[in-house]
């Protein structure tokens, strides 16, 4: 929730494995992001367009997906729905919190913005935000460099060591932010890499077809002066 007007400023561009022509989903990073998403984000935000079965499109086996779903007392086809209902959300935040399934696709700069937002909180030290809010932060607001207007209703959701990763990676705020932003990119566009690979095949086909068509044209017209 923003208390001041303003658009999203371009965040620092991060190095993501899903960018570029040659790209792939990193299963370990997806699982780390899933851990943050389900153990932290899901307390308030749903992922209503995603089920554990969707993970099978990103290197997870059916057994993997079923095991993760079972840990949450869900079936493999059940959607990831937060227990925070709309009434409680209105009471706590003054609005219905958004679903996160498509958030990276809906916001400019995608995962870069999500990462910047999660790492953009500052302690409420007046000197840091005085140039934006001379009378202090609005009630119920938290200063965030990346959020439009620089004041957000959501308190910083991440703290060092908040989750335990399956691969022993240290769960710093920066690491968790990077991992959950990566996971949210996948939830927003689970078919992203499949489309990229198909696009490469189409471009190669068109290049070969163009070369053959040009060679055929030269052969047909070689005796015409």
* The length of the chain, given as a count of residues: 225
Q: By the 8 A CB rule, do 179 and 37 touch? A: no
Residue 200 tokens read as: 């490469």
Per-residue pLDDT tens over the stretch 31-45: 999 999 999 999 999
Q: By the 8 A CB rule, do 155 and 142 touch? A: yes
- What is the rounded average pLDDT of the residues 139-165? 92
Which residues does 50 contact at the CB level (< 8 Å), separation at least 6?
Answer: 79, 80, 101, 187, 190
Residue 29 tokens read as: 């990073």
Query: What is the pLDDT, as a whole number, of residue 2?
Result: 38
Query: What is the pLDDT, as a whole number, of residue 70?
Result: 97
Q: Please tell me the distance from the alpha carbon of residue 3 to that of residue 147, in angstroms, as a whole number.
A: 10
Residue 19 tokens read as: 């960018």
Query: What is the pLDDT, as a whole number, of residue 105?
Result: 92
């Amino acid at each position: 929730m923003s208390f001041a007007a303003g658009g999203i400023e371009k965040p620092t561009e991060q190095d993501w494995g899903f960018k570029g022509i040659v790209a792939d989903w990193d299963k370990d990073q997806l699982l780390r992001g899933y851990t943050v998403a389900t153990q932290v984000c899901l307390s308030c935000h749903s992922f209503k367009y995603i089920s554990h079965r969707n993970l099978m499109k990103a290197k997870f086996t059916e057994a993997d997906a079923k095991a993760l779903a079972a840990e949450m007392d869900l079936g493999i086809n059940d959607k990831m729905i937060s227990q925070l209902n709309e009434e409680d959300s209105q009471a706590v935040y003054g609005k219905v919190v958004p679903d996160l399934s498509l958030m990276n696709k809906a916001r400019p700069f995608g995962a870069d913005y999500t990462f910047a937002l999660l790492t953009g909180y500052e302690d409420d030290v007046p000197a840091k935000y005085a140039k934006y809010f001379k009378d202090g932060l609005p009630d119920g607001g938290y200063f965030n460099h990346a959020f439009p207007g620089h004041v957000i209703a959501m308190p910083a959701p991440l703290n060092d060591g908040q989750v335990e990763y399956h691969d022993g990676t240290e769960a710093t705020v920066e690491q968790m932010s990077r991992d959950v932003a990566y996971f949210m990119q996948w939830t927003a566009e689970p078919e992203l890499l499949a489309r990229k690979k198909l696009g490469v095949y189409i471009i190669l086909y068109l290049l070969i077809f163009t070369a053959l068509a040009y060679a055929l044209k030269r052969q047909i017209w070689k005796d015409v002066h």
